[in-house]
């Protein structure tokens, strides 16, 4: 067995240590030495095996090609950043003027560029603030406006989202009390009106973004709820998915601009869903309420870092995001791409064919909305090797077939998909 220090002296591993760190390189060497002890590797091959096992980056997260047909896939990191946002985040990785005015040499408002971009994107908002996710935005609002008081909310909007996360639990954790009104399927304006009083901190309208209630139902819109503002009761709307303006393809999905114009005092939303940016919680609305939230001590604990601010600003100011491009992808073009890939795979002896598919928005947005798409249909046995390959490709299995949906995949990656499938089909 070659000594560890001798193997680490290999020039390739010395160079890798400068890029990945000693711990990562040493772990790769130890793994190769274990293979020698187990009889699966010759001692003279330890350095080569260690080099081959080195990850591309020091972090363990791996870039994945999302072919599930879910455009905003929470388990795969939600919205992929645009090239502009990625470049902005890299540029902000070193020292930056995040809280510094280069002209005057004095301290400046943190993330002012991102705040200006967000305010310009939603002119209906008197002021804006950004925290680290939408749950944080709700926590901040509940703490500032309703700690020790009541939040009036419809029973039909006491929702649970992913991983067992429940909005009611989040709100109660701030010290607020929930005043539930209406029933699961029907709530009226009179229910809200009867519940508000001196103990009311605010009325909360939560968009049920990952399910639909159909049949004998009734709910109260923002326009009606805004009448409560005349009674001194703020109306807060959690729209969830992060649409800033109307999207014709998603007519049932609320957007920040329309919600504020309808009379909401505050709107909270996510930055890494339909907006297509980094994980962030957006808070938009009345200047006095936003300022109270910004000045609260909890805001410091929930603030975003410089990378998020840079990526968010570039998302707001830059070109169309990958999420928006995927949402508006032409079904005919997707079909042509699927047929071309399937033909090349079939020509190489792979059991592949192009099929029609249905994609979804995902990320807790636009429940029940499907988008026409196209996919490559492959034997189910290829799912695991593709998922663990390089690059990893994640599809979905339906009726014993692996479907690789193309709607969330830029055309520039078709060659990578082709090579990956050929690589595991031998």
Query: Domain of 71: which CATH number?
Result: 3.90.1150.180
Q: Determine the average pLDDT of the residues in 379-398.
A: 95
Q: Would you state the pLDDT for residue 69?
A: 96
Average pLDDT over residues 391-404: 96
DSSP string covering 16-49? HHHHH-HHHHHHHHHHHHHHHHTTSS-GGGHHHH
Residue 198 and residue 146 share a domain? yes
Whether 146 contacts 204, CB under 8 Å: no
101 and 46 belong to one structural domain: no
What phi and psi, each to the nearest 5 degrees, are found at residue 114?
Answer: -65, -40
In this prediction, residue 163 carries a pLDDT of: 67
- Average the pLDDT over 27-52 and give the result: 95
Q: How far apart are the C-alpha atoms of 251 and 207, rounded to whole Å? A: 14
pLDDT at 65: 97
Query: pLDDT value at position 268?
Result: 97
The model's confidence at residue 212, banded by pLDDT at 50, 70 and 90, is low
Overall number of domains in the chain:
3
Same domain, 224 and 94: yes
Last residue of a domain, one of 285, 319, 353: 319
Residue 58 located in a structural domain: no
| Domain, as residue range, for 388 | 65-77+324-424
pLDDT of 303 over the 80 cut: yes
Three-class SS state of 172: helix
Is residue 393 within 8 Å of 376, Cβ to Cβ? no
pLDDT band with cut points at 50, 70 and 90 for residue 165 = confident
Of 279, 298, 319, the residue at which a domain comes to its end is 319
Q: How confident is the model at residue 211 (pLDDT cuts 50, 70, 90)?
A: low
pTM to 2 decimal places: 0.91
Q: How far is CA 65 from CA 212, 376, 389, in A?
A: 29, 14, 11
8 A C-beta contact, residue 92 and residue 310: yes
Residue 64 has pLDDT above 90, yes or no: yes
Confidence class for position 34, pLDDT limits 50, 70, 90: very high
Question: pLDDT by residue (tens digit) across 95-129?
Answer: 999 999 999 999 999 999 999 999 999 999 999 99
Check residue 162 and give its pLDDT. Answer: 65
Using CA atoms of 216, 220, 222, 226 in order, give the dihedral in degrees to the nearest 10: 170
């Amino acid at each position: 067995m070659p000594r560890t220090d001798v193997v680490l002296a290999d020039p390739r591993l010395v160079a890798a240590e400068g890029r990945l760190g000693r711990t990562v390189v040493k772990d790769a060497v130890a793994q190769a030495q274990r293979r020698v002890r187990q009889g699966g590797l010759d001692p003279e091959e330890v350095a080569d095996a260690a080099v081959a096992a080195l990850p591309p980056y020091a972090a363990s997260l791996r870039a994945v090609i999302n072919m599930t047909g879910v455009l905003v896939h929470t388990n795969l990191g939600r919205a992929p950043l645009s090239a502009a946002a990625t470049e902005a985040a890299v540029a902000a990785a070193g020292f930056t003027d995040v809280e510094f005015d280069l002209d005057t040499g004095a301290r400046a408002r943190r993330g002012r560029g991102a705040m200006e971009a967000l305010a310009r994107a939603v002119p209906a908002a008197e002021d804006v603030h950004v925290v680290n996710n939408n749950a944080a935005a709700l926590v901040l609002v509940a703490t500032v406006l309703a700690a020790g008081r009541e939040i009036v909310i419809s029973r039909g909007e006491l929702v649970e989202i992913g991983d067992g996360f429940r909005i009611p639990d989040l709100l109660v954790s701030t010290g607020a009390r929930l005043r539930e009104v209406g029933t699961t399927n029907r709530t009226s304006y009179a229910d809200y009106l009867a519940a508000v009083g001196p103990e009311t901190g605010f009325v909360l309208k939560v968009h049920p973004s990952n399910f639909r209630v159909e049949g004998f139902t009734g709910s109260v819109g923002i326009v009606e709820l805004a009448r409560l503002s005349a009674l001194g009761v703020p109306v807060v709307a959690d729209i969830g998915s992060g649409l800033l303006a109307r999207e014709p393809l998603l007519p049932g999905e609320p957007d920040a601009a329309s919600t504020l114009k309808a009379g909401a005092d505050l709107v909270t939303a996510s930055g890494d869903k339909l907006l297509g940016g980094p994980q962030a919680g957006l808070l938009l609305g009345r200047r006095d309420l936003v300022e109270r939230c910004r000045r609260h001590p909890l805001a410091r604990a929930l603030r975003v870092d410089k990378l998020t601010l840079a990526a968010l600003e570039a998302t707001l100011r830059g070109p169309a995001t990958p999420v928006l491009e995927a949402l508006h992808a032409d079904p005919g073009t997707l079909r042509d791409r699927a047929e071309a890939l399937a033909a090349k795979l079939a020509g190489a002896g792979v059991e592949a064919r192009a099929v029609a598919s249905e994609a979804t928005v995902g990320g807790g947005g636009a429940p029940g909305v499907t988008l026409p798409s196209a996919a490559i249909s492959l034997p189910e046995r290829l799912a695991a090797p593709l998922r663990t390959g390089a690059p990893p490709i994640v599809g979905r299995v339906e009726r014993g077939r692996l479907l690789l949906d193309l709607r969330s995949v830029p055309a520039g990656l078709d060659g990578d998909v082709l090579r990956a499938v050929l690589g595991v089909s031998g």
